[in-house]
Amino acid sequence: MVDFARLEEEANLLVASGEKAKAIKAAYELALASARAKDFARAERWRQKLYQLDPMALTEIVNAGEVIEAEKAGGLDQSYLDLWPKLFHALTGEETNALYYALQEKVFEADQVVFEQGKRHARLYFVVTGQLKLIHAKENREYFLQTINKSEIVGVDTFFTISTCTTSLVTLSRVKLLCLERETMDGWQEQFPGLERKLHDFCMDFNNIPDLLKRKGLDRRTQTRYPVE
């Protein structure tokens, strides 16, 4: 097993000593070793260190980037990609890696609330297993809107806009979800400028909350607006 603590300590000493060539070599080797260990956050951190040490160390910078992307691609779980083929087919390899590794796995037991009506919730959920229900509360009554199943996406209406939830999402069984944070997506703007648009366009197929509310006579325009705090 690679002793990253020791290697990082040695690399930091080289950086501090001003031994540029040795520091670049150490940072490069750390980026590669981290990528091969699937520690992509550490790998990217040391690749960025290469930029800081010498922006013209292009061979090391480019090679490190290629190894990181290759290791990411090799670690993809195809069964997850197959749940949303239309989305992942529209993405480049680097965009696929960025989205896939940004998704956080969340497990909920039955009868748990994932998000609640009237509250802010800047997360997008990809349903891997299990069933959930969307409900809307009005005048002390609860209205069932829709069952959510495997391979569906939930939270679209509040993820891409600054607004509060007009529904609540509750689990009907044990559920596994993949969660994307809005803050993470915002961080893609420079490196992956087209990724948000592709994700947005795909998710619009799941943005049916207004229609569901209208069919139940619970149209948003008749509902109390919840101020954004």
The domain segmentation of the chain, as residue ranges, is 4-74, 102-222
With 60 as the cut, is the pLDDT of residue 224 above it? no
Residue 145 to residue 165: CA distance in whole angstroms: 14
Per residue in 18-48, pLDDT (tens digit) is: 899 999 999 999 999 999 998 998 999 999 9
The whole-model pTM stands at 0.79
Residue 206 contacts residue 158 (beta carbons within 8 Å):
no
In CATH, what number does 102-222 get?
2.60.120.10
Mean pLDDT over residues 75-99, rounded?
Answer: 94
Mean pLDDT for 8-22 is 92
pLDDT band at 225 (very low <50, low <70, confident <90, very high): very low
Instruction: State how far the alpha carbon of 104 is from the alpha carbons of 7, 10, 29, 100, 211, in Å.
Output: 29, 32, 28, 9, 29
Q: Is 137 helix (H, G, I), strand (E, B) or coil?
A: strand
- Report the C-alpha gap between 21 and 194 in whole angstroms: 36
pLDDT per residue as tens digits for the range 151-170: 999 999 899 987 899 999 99
Cα gap 194→192, rounded to integer Å:
6
pLDDT of 222 reads 46
